[in-house]
Amino acid sequence: MTMGMTGNATARRVAADTAATDRAAADVGAADTAAADMASANPAAVLPEPFAGWFAGQGWAPRPHQLALVEKAEAGLSSLLIAPTGAGKTLAGFLPSLIEIAHENRRRNAPVREGPHTLYISPLKALAVDIARNLERPIAEMGLSITHETRTGDTPQNRRRRQKEVPPDILLTTAEQIALLVCQPDAARYFSELKVVIVDELHALVTSKRGDLLSLGLARLRRHAPGLRTVGLSATVADPDDLRGWLVPQALLDPDALPDLGAPVRVDDHRGVPRRRAEAPPSGLSELIVVEGGAKPDLSILKTEARVPWSGHMTRWAVPDVYALIKAHRTTLVFVNTRSQAETLFYELWRINDETLPIALHHGSLEREQRRKVEAAMGRNALRAVVCTSTLDLGIDWGDVDLVVHVGAPKGASRLAQRIGRANHRMDEPSKAVLVPSNRFEVMECQAALDANYHGRQDTPAIKDGALDVLAQHVLGMAVADPFDALDLFEEIRSAYPYRTLDWETFERVVDYGATGGYALRAYDRYAKIRRRKKDGLWSITHPNVAKQYRLNVSTIVELASLPVRLVSRRGGTLTRRGPVLGQLEEYFLATLAPGDTFLFAGQVLKLEQVLQNEVLVTKTAQTEPKIPYYGGSKFPLTTYLAAGVRQMLADPAHREALPEQVREWLDLQAVRSRLPRTDELLVETFPRGKRHYLVAYPFEGRLAHQTLGMLLTRRLERAGAKPMGFVASDYALAIWALEDLSVFYDDAPNTMADLFAEDMLGDDLDEWLADSMLMKRTFRAVAQIAHLVERRHPGQEKTGRQITISTDLVYDVLRSHEPDHILMRATWADAATGLLDIRRLGEMLARVRAHIVHVRLPRISPLAVPIMLEIGRESVQGEGSEMLLAEAADELIREAME
Amino acid sequence: MDTPFGMAAMSAFSIPGPRLPRTVRRPAAVTTRARLAGMDAVLDPTGALFWPAESLLVVSDLHLETGSSYARTGQMLPPYDTSLTLAALAAAVERHRPARILSLGDTFHDPFGAERLTPEARDLIGAMMRRAAFIFVTGNHEKDGAAALGGRVADAVTIGGTTFRHIPSAVVPDTPEVAGHLHPAARIAVKGRSLKRRCFIGCDRRLVMPAMGCLTGGLPVTDPAFTALWPAGPDPRPAVHLIGRERVFSLGAT
């Protein structure tokens, strides 16, 4: 089906290419019709020729924020530019560099520069390439003698070499490439002429490990280029100061915070002596330039005759409505939250696609080639709709998207704003978006997101402490670059915003980890990768191979263990081995499949035939209902901000007015039958149903936190003798069931519901559970790779993702039993606490509701409980008691055998 | 310490981080009896096999000093694998009190493993050697590296009519055979979750032992390497005995 669609798209190529070029130019040039509103004085005073003339020649006037950036640059200041899409952000970022380089190059005597003047860093390879293309036009039209090149993981060796020998004025690259460049032996010379670093999509970068890696790279670049200026380009965020801090060195190391190292071996005195960083602004913040958003988006929740279901995530009920929307618009981007939703929606749309509109699919598991085809078709305006996941949240602009449909709740106000921004990339025209909730809780969540958007509220996450696995990688890289003084490097690292509170003891352990693995049992001293030299006290690598291995493994992107899916056919009972690769299937989903099972992938129902030599062989099947409906993909928990909005709707009738009638009726009935919790309350209901007793809690803290809570509560109930049988968690609620009434254990003194939800469950219960947690092992796997404990690539051999999974699980077990405080265990813990386990949020919730737990005992199920109760059986129980499961399975088999 | 463990470790930089797991009292190990490769065998949850009739304890693929083997190439895996693996062996020895202990090859992860043993590990092996006679079958990883420990070293041995060798014979052997080398592991799906565990796989003619080394990964029993050992036909199908934490689960014929 996907293939057929692309065929169509190719046929429609025609003259659309010219339109795309025009558009690209407009995005860089940012045609501004509202030039008369310009706040700044005479632009000619700011812009020299040929720039002023070029703007005039285009019939444009430079925008105030573009001029402001030029002024800040002239004053040598770093700046954060916050602007909505379509504001000419990219040109604004480059303009000061273009002016400066043009000026410099006119006066330059030497024909070849030592290294680039400006680095542009993008979170996506494709974006770097796209921006490079867009830069060409202004440079050519103004006749500037400015060179620019891209360098990504895909850049061939000979071009990289040329970039070293004849460096371009502007190098467009990625965070990983910076990490590689700063550990080259000639880095000091190469970056000696560096003046500017532009970081695009900064808001997205800083919350990832790539952001941590880049912050460390920046700290090193500042050493080579002391006056270095940074420019951050960002969408609107909740706290701009976080980003402003990230862009500049964090100043003034408190001398008292430095360790007393006794009498260190130190040859040159200037090293390691605490000193004020001259370039650090005293405020610790960059300049801030904010462009207020243009037109308010035209945002609505789908109005429908259909009944909004109680539960479920597949939104099948709204497919005809979504199809009607696609038909009524030129080009529609249909965003969903998970890959399985994308697959399902795409499949359902094509079922009713009577007019065979070109509708495509785009998500992270699909073959890269296939994704590129869809993107290209989109750029040519050859598609009417693309069903996509977060893979299209960022990145290049496309054709004339005039509608964004968001199927399923957006989970965050800022996420929604970002996605809406993908429509209509012209600042002063309103973007149009329709939200399609999957179920009734999501109706409330969509309404909360709508309100947030109207008020311009943001809920982007704060920048976390820098990851220790990334730090470990970086420290090794710094030894590869040049022998380092520990104190000196510590100071440099603390100038990076995410690591500004790093303590010496942790740093020392990271260095120790880089040297010998950092184990208490000092077994590996003779195999040390880096060692402190006797002659000058500097840490240096012990063998050139260490550098080679390091360069092979620099990255923070850890691929999930996955296998390629190959579509083959069956001839006379035997499988052919030839056929196209459709994409990658995660190993943990594959593990739940048996040969013969059918599942939805790349828009088709496929049958698993065989896993052979690290490939999944599948065939097409005539079946229309896949047996296994779900396969992995990211699920974002709803943000604290939206959760608060939903809580408010429950608590206050005034906040419910905007909701559709069927949802209001549902909530009113809840108020009569049970209770609608106040905003500060945690409502807990218990009731019997069938032969079971249920306990349902409504914390609204997102699915990950609820899963962790469910795990901990069931442990506690088990200890109390309540024999819980299972639980299920959604973004909003949590249900636990048992054969006996769970509330009798927590009705009165000495035990109350408050005891059941007491915070100390985050102590021993959590500890014990973590011992055997698959989620921890999965987290550890990524940490072990980033910190180079397990290398993906070893000179001469490449490990597959499969093998790594096996060995890191065992390493985790060994490490946990012997050295749970190991630096990588701490890194794993920190990741899990904010990631898969969301312990931080759970902890905050438990503290908040401490004295406000309201237990309602009911004779039967409450209206509010219906959605979560419907999830039971649909979702697999996330039990982690694997030993118990094993025993059950074995006993069952034994029973079968006996009967 | 009053601060709950969870909250105290919230910041990546806070010290202390995760702490030692509490010592949990574990239920006693449950062994399983099975008729395998001509033996009335007792399967131990450590991955060891005890043959009472010969007072013989068989273990395979200990892969001692795996951590240090990787460390030599710059991948600093934890140096605790040898002591954990030996502790499992010691527990099995304690339970069954064999007269003879047979290590079925790949006792060490590489040929120089024995040289890297810590004095403590050496002592532990020495103590076991004083209680039982050791037989080391040579594996493909270590050559005759285990010879340094003392004890008998052989390419293959036959005891009570059953032959013990490291790599399973390609054709179905005439006499019962016990081998290691392949590190069998089985995956079973239970309630939508998939669990992977090391296992014994065998029939009355031949048996493949699980790897005992704690850093040693497993090869799924669905791999062609195993199907080749039990080709389709009238011969008995192999049974899988899955190793749980304290119990061996017999899952019947595959």
pLDDT digits (tens, 9 = 90+) for A535-570: 999 999 999 999 998 988 887 766 556 778 889 988
Q: How far apart (Å, rounded) are the C-alpha atoms in residues A87 and A227?
A: 28
CA–CA min distance B160, chain A (Å): 31
Cβ distance B77 to A588 less than 8 Å, yes or no, reads: no
Name the residue among A529, A763, A876 with its Cβ closest to that of B74: A529
Residues in A touching B239 (Cβ below 8 Å): none
- Give the pLDDT band of residue B191 (cuts 50, 70, 90): low
Q: How much is the pLDDT for A891?
A: 59
DSSP label at A860? S
pLDDT tens-digit readout, A113-171: 899 999 999 887 778 888 888 899 899 999 998 999 999 888 888 999 999 889 999 99
Residues in B touching A893 (Cβ below 8 Å): 251-252
Q: How much is the pLDDT for A528?
A: 94
Number of domains in chain B: 1
Name the residue among B17, B75, B187 with its Cβ closest to that of A821: B17
Residues in A touching B245 (Cβ below 8 Å): 883
pLDDT tens-digit readout, B73-116: 888 999 999 999 999 999 999 999 999 999 999 999 988 899 99
Q: How far apart (Å, rounded) are the C-alpha atoms in residues A414 and A198?
A: 23
Cβ distance A465 to B191 less than 8 Å, yes or no, reads: no
Name the residue among B10, B80, B245 with its Cβ closest to that of A521: B80
- Token pair 């099948």 is found at A316
pLDDT at A676 over 60: yes
Q: What does pTM read for this prediction?
A: 0.83
The separation between CA A575 and the C-alpha centre of its own chain, rounded to angstroms, equals 39
User: Does a structural domain hold residue B65?
Assistant: yes
Name the least confident of A370-379, A637-646, B183-192.
B183-192
Cβ distance A877 to B78 less than 8 Å, yes or no, reads: no
Nearest CA in chain B to A503: B13
- Region A230-249 average pLDDT: 93
Note the ipTM here.
0.86
Q: How much is the pLDDT for A154?
A: 81
B1 at interface of A, judged by CB pairs closer than 8 A: no
State the CATH number of the domain containing residue B196. Answer: 3.60.21
Whether the bond into B4 is cis, omega within 30 of 0: no
pLDDT at A478 over 80: yes
User: Does a structural domain hold residue B9?
Assistant: no
CA–CA min distance B236, chain A (Å): 18
- Region A504-527 average pLDDT: 92
- Give the pLDDT band of residue A649 (cuts 50, 70, 90): very high
- Provide the sign of the torsion angle of the four alpha carbons A376, A380, A381, A383, taken in this order: negative
Q: How much is the pLDDT for A740?
A: 84
The 3 state secondary structure assigned to chain B is CCCCHHHHCCCCCCCCCCCCCCCCCCCCCECEEEEECCEEEEECCCCCEEEHHHCEEEECCCCECHHHHHHCCCCCCCCCHHHHHHHHHHHHHHHHCCCEEEECCCCECCCCHHHHCCHHHHHHHHHHHHHCEEEEECECCCECHHHHHCCEEECEEEECCEEEECCCCCCCCCCCEEECCCCEEEEEEECCEEEEEEEEEECCCEEECCCCCCCCCCEECCCHHHHCCCCCCCCCCCEEEEECCCEEEEEEEC
Q: How much is the pLDDT for A424?
A: 65
Mutation target among B63, B77, B81, B243 for the A interface, most CBs of A within 10 A = B77
Which residues in chain B (163-192) have CB-CB distances under 8 A to chain A?
187-192
Give percent above pLDDT 90 in chain A: 37
CA–CA min distance A574, chain B (Å): 17
Name the residue among B6, B15, B78 with its Cβ closest to that of A519: B78
B253 at interface of A, judged by CB pairs closer than 8 A: no
Cβ distance A843 to B10 less than 8 Å, yes or no, reads: yes
Cβ distance A820 to B21 less than 8 Å, yes or no, reads: yes
Name the residue among B13, B18, B81 with its Cβ closest to that of A503: B13
Residue of A748 and A448 predicted with greater confidence: A448
- How far are the Cα atoms of A19, A692, A726 from residue A738, in angstroms, in the given order? 63, 6, 7
Alpha-carbon Rg of chain B, whole angstroms?
19
SS3 call for A608? strand
Name the residue among B13, B18, B189 with its Cβ closest to that of A592: B189
CA–CA min distance B219, chain A (Å): 10
Cβ distance A760 to B21 less than 8 Å, yes or no, reads: no
Cβ distance B252 to A813 less than 8 Å, yes or no, reads: no
Cβ distance A517 to B217 less than 8 Å, yes or no, reads: no
- Residue B200 bridge partners (DSSP): B241
Cβ distance B6 to A839 less than 8 Å, yes or no, reads: yes
Name the residue among B75, B217, B252 with its Cβ closest to that of A810: B217
Which residues in chain B (72-91) have CB-CB distances under 8 A to chain A?
72-81, 84
DSSP label at A425? -
Cβ distance A826 to B75 less than 8 Å, yes or no, reads: no
Strand (E) or helix (H) holding A665 = helix A661-673
Nearest CA in chain A to B84: A814
Fold match between domain A62-250+276-293 and domain A298-454: yes
Name the residue among B18, B71, B79 with its Cβ closest to that of A829: B18
CA–CA min distance B158, chain A (Å): 33
Cβ proximity of B26 and B246 under 8 Å: yes
- What length is written for chain B? 254
- How far are the Cα atoms of A120, A434, A456, A650, A663 from residue A657, in angstroms, in the given order? 48, 19, 20, 11, 10
User: Does a structural domain hold residue B146?
Assistant: yes
Cβ proximity of A174 and A152 under 8 Å: yes
Q: How much is the pLDDT for A104?
A: 85
Among A432, A422, A427, A398, which Cα is nearest to A87's?
A427
Give percent above pLDDT 90 in chain B: 55
- Region B142-146 average pLDDT: 69
- Region B58-77 average pLDDT: 92
Q: How much is the pLDDT for A269?
A: 36
Mutation target among A769, A813, A882, A888 for the B interface, most CBs of B within 10 A = A882
Among A703, A701, A710, which Cα is nearest to A757's?
A710
User: Does a structural domain hold residue B196?
Assistant: yes
Name the residue among B9, B19, B197 with its Cβ closest to that of A833: B9
Q: How much is the pLDDT for A44?
A: 52
User: Does a structural domain hold residue B176?
Assistant: yes
- Give the pLDDT band of residue A254 (cuts 50, 70, 90): low
CA–CA min distance A541, chain B (Å): 11
CA–CA min distance A819, chain B (Å): 7
pLDDT at A797 over 60: no
- Give the pLDDT band of residue B231 (cuts 50, 70, 90): confident
B8 at interface of A, judged by CB pairs closer than 8 A: no
User: Does a structural domain hold residue B13?
Assistant: no
Residue of A512 and B196 predicted with greater confidence: A512
Q: Whole-number mean pLDDT of chain A? A: 81
- What length is written for chain A? 899
Classified by CATH at the fold level, domain A62-250+276-293 comes out as: Rossmann fold (3.40.50)
Q: Number of Cβ pairs closer than 8 Å across A and B?
A: 197
B11 at interface of A, judged by CB pairs closer than 8 A: yes
Q: How much is the pLDDT for A877?
A: 41
- Region A721-745 average pLDDT: 84
CA–CA min distance A894, chain B (Å): 8
Q: Which residues contact A344 (CB under 8 A, 6 or more apart)?
A: A314, A316, A600, A629
pLDDT at B23 over 60: no
Cβ distance B78 to A815 less than 8 Å, yes or no, reads: yes
Q: Whole-number mean pLDDT of chain B? A: 84
Q: How much is the pLDDT for B236?
A: 74
Q: How much is the pLDDT for A627?
A: 64
pLDDT at A805 over 80: no
Q: How much is the pLDDT for A272?
A: 39
Token reading at A340: 């399985």
pLDDT at A814 over 50: yes
User: Does a structural domain hold residue B179?
Assistant: yes
Cβ distance B75 to A843 less than 8 Å, yes or no, reads: no
Q: Where are the domains of chain A?
A: 62-250+276-293, 298-454, 469-557+774-831, 562-620, 674-773+837-886
pLDDT tens-digit readout, A408-430: 888 888 888 888 877 765 656 77
CA–CA min distance B171, chain A (Å): 23
Instruction: Provide DSSP, A194-248.
Output: --EEEETTHHHHTTSHHHHHHHHHHHHHHHHSTT-EEEEEE---S-HHHHHHHHS
Q: How much is the pLDDT for A633?
A: 42
Cβ proximity of B185 and B191 under 8 Å: no
Assign domain A298-454 one CATH number from 3.90.550.10, 3.40.50.12140, 3.90.950.20, 3.40.50.300.
3.40.50.300
pLDDT at B54 over 90: yes
Q: How much is the pLDDT for A739?
A: 84
pLDDT tens-digit readout, A25-67: 334 434 343 333 343 445 556 788 899 999 998 888 888 999 9
- Region B63-69 average pLDDT: 93
B23 at interface of A, judged by CB pairs closer than 8 A: no
Q: How much is the pLDDT for A84?
A: 77
Token reading at A295: 């037109």
- Give the pLDDT band of residue A19 (cuts 50, 70, 90): very low
Residues in B touching A531 (Cβ below 8 Å): none
Which domain covers residue B92, as residue numbers?
26-253
pLDDT at A881 over 70: no
Cβ distance B250 to A890 less than 8 Å, yes or no, reads: yes
Name the residue among B18, B74, B217 with its Cβ closest to that of A820: B18
Cβ distance B4 to A524 less than 8 Å, yes or no, reads: no
Cβ distance B13 to A843 less than 8 Å, yes or no, reads: no
CA–CA min distance B153, chain A (Å): 28
